[in-house]
A = this chain, B = another copy of it.
Amino acid sequence: MIGAYGADPNRYQFIPRVLLIITHGEQVLLIRRSPIKRLWPGKYNAPGGHVEKGEDPHAAGVRELAEETGVSVESLILRGLIVAETGLDGSGILVFVYRGVAAHQALRASSEGEPVWVRRAEMAALDLVPDLPQVLALTLDQPDFFYLYKIPHADGSEEVSVRFERS
């Protein structure tokens, strides 16, 4: 079946996600993932989640941030994209990486995990999700829009490449 605007569901598709790099002064907003999560239990990651039907990535970012941390933002700016191969035939993952500044410091936990404000100098001591240091640096420490491409290997390692969109 072909949908509106010629949409062909047999085409390659992306499972859309958002990742939210939110700061308040010198601190970055992280979540210690619930210990019962399938992927990366107990590790620290930035807030984020899936884009659902009926919303654009920006709206998904505002929603996920409120749900997972109780934080609202003054702005949310798209800073880069992460494309990840998944090993599934027809589906990759596309992560929209947003940079935002929190409107307040107060946090509220959810079933996803415990939100915390962390200074970047203190991060090295935490059990972080593997790509978080690189994504933080790409989002916070350089001005160009970035593309991060990840291909997982069978041994658990991954091939990572980065490109920049010069403006």
Which residues of A approach B to under 8 Å, CB–CB?
1-9, 11-16, 38-39, 50-59, 75-78, 81, 83-88, 90-94, 145, 147, 149-150, 152, 163, 165-167
Q: How many copies make up the complex?
A: 2
Q: Are A86 and B4 in contact (CB under 8 A)?
A: yes
- Which of B91, B94, B147 touches A9 (beta carbons < 8 Å)? B91
Q: Are A13 and B11 in contact (CB under 8 A)?
A: no
Q: Are B12 and A52 in contact (CB under 8 A)?
A: yes
Question: A12, A85, A145, A152: which has the most chain B beta carbons within 10 Å?
Answer: A12
Q: Are A7 and B147 in contact (CB under 8 A)?
A: no
Q: Are B4 and A15 in contact (CB under 8 A)?
A: no
**Chain B residue with Cβ nearest A84:** B5
A165 contacts which chain B residues (CB < 8 A)?
58, 75-78
**Chain B residue with Cβ nearest A53:** B12
A4 contacts which chain B residues (CB < 8 A)?
84-87, 152
C-alpha gap A14/B145 in the complex (Å): 21
Known: A15-B13, A58-B147. A75 touches B5 (CB 8 A): no
A11 contacts which chain B residues (CB < 8 A)?
15, 50
C-alpha gap A52/B75 in the complex (Å): 31
